Amino acid sequence: MTDRFALPRRTLLAAAAALAAGLAAPAPTPALAQDVYPSRPVIVVVPQAAGGTNDIVARVLADKMGDVLGQARFVVENRVGAGGNIGTASAARATPDGYTLIVNISSTQAINPALFSKLGFDPVKDFEPITMLATVPNVLVAHPSLKADTVAELITLARQNAAQPLQYASAGNGTLNHLLGEMLKSRAGIPLTHVPYRGVAPAINDMIAGHVMLGFASMPSVMSQLQGKALKALAMSSAQRSPAAPEIPAIAETIPGFSADLWVALFAPRGLPVAIRDKLHDAAVKAMNDPGVQEKLKAQGATIVTSTPDELAKRLDTDLATWAEVVKAAGAKVE
């Protein structure tokens, strides 16, 4: 007996085929998901303390990138410790989906690998370069009574006093201003004695007091002392003169090839989809080219420098090799 409510066999087969096709349909591709990125807050890790150069750049960038993309907030999180290694390692372990980024400095990304026996991350293999953001030159400063106003005069003075080498202050063993002093000592072939302090502030205070005659410091940290004539500037560590203080010559004008400024750059965990990387790159470059952003960072002594991901990767490779050589020559190690 035929059930008058039964569906025709052809209809049932068509429905079954449609259901099977639906079950076998591929999941949405990553490209489709990337079209709506970012749809929730993005964490920007800063592995240094709040208020420092890196933190300032990251916060200015985060505010503007939120405006540029107009879809989600970029929230800065300071994860400090071990010279920046703790925060950097945590970012390296994050999911590479664009919702965790890191704004890092060359001290952590390029110098620490040569300094620390236990790092917790690989500076190249664990990160996707996005763009350079800014450079901040270090200044070779001296007490006003030092009988040298230029690098050439300093070299002559140091050689004349080889029996009692001039002392230079730093923020501590293995810090950038320590290694800059070692680089100057090596490249100029002069005797210098390192005097480490526990931070840049006490080092600067002792230079102002004349207890130690010279040292390197970032432009933002000594801007007021230079303006007030408490210290004098001999030269910049950058390859060229800084737009923030064009009257101060570069060390490279006396020692060709000398170049070692602090850079700030944007990275993501390795494996970030290319479409998201490109979107972040374009947004970051647009943010850094904003006149308001440039004005804020110039006041801090920073120079805006953006790059392609490949250019940043090459800069990192170059600096890793440079600082490995300097650290080896200085014999500096941090356990």
What pLDDT shows up at residue 53?
82
What pLDDT shows up at residue 256?
94
| Sequence-separated (6 or more) residues with CB below 8 Å from residue 66 | 72, 73, 74
How would you label 245-275 residue by residue, b for 16+ Cβ within 10 Å and e otherwise? eeebbbbbbbbeebbbbbbbbbbbbeebbee
Task: Quick: pLDDT tens for 269-293.
Answer: 999 999 999 999 999 999 999 999 9
Q: Same CATH topology for 41-136+262-330 and 138-253? A: yes
What pLDDT shows up at residue 20?
47
| Sequence-separated (6 or more) residues with CB below 8 Å from residue 286 | 68
What pLDDT shows up at residue 299?
81
pLDDT category, 174, cuts 50, 70, 90? confident
Mean pLDDT within 61-87: 91
What pLDDT shows up at residue 261?
84
CATH label, 138-253, candidates 3.40.50.970, 3.30.70.260, 3.40.30.10, 3.40.190.10? 3.40.190.10
- Quote the strand ranges of 124-191, DSSP E: 127-136, 138-142, 166-170
Q: Is the pLDDT of residue 14 over 70?
A: no
Query: If you classify domain 41-136+262-330 with CATH, what class do you get?
Result: alpha beta
Domain ranges of the chain: 41-136+262-330, 138-253
Instruction: Tell me the C-alpha distance between 125 and 82, whole Å.
Output: 20
Structure token pair of residue 283: 């947004």
What's this model's pTM, rounded to 2 decimal places? 0.78
Task: Quick: pLDDT tens for 126-160.
Answer: 999 999 999 988 999 999 999 999 999 999 999 99
Instruction: Tell me the C-alpha distance between 101 and 94, whole Å.
Output: 9
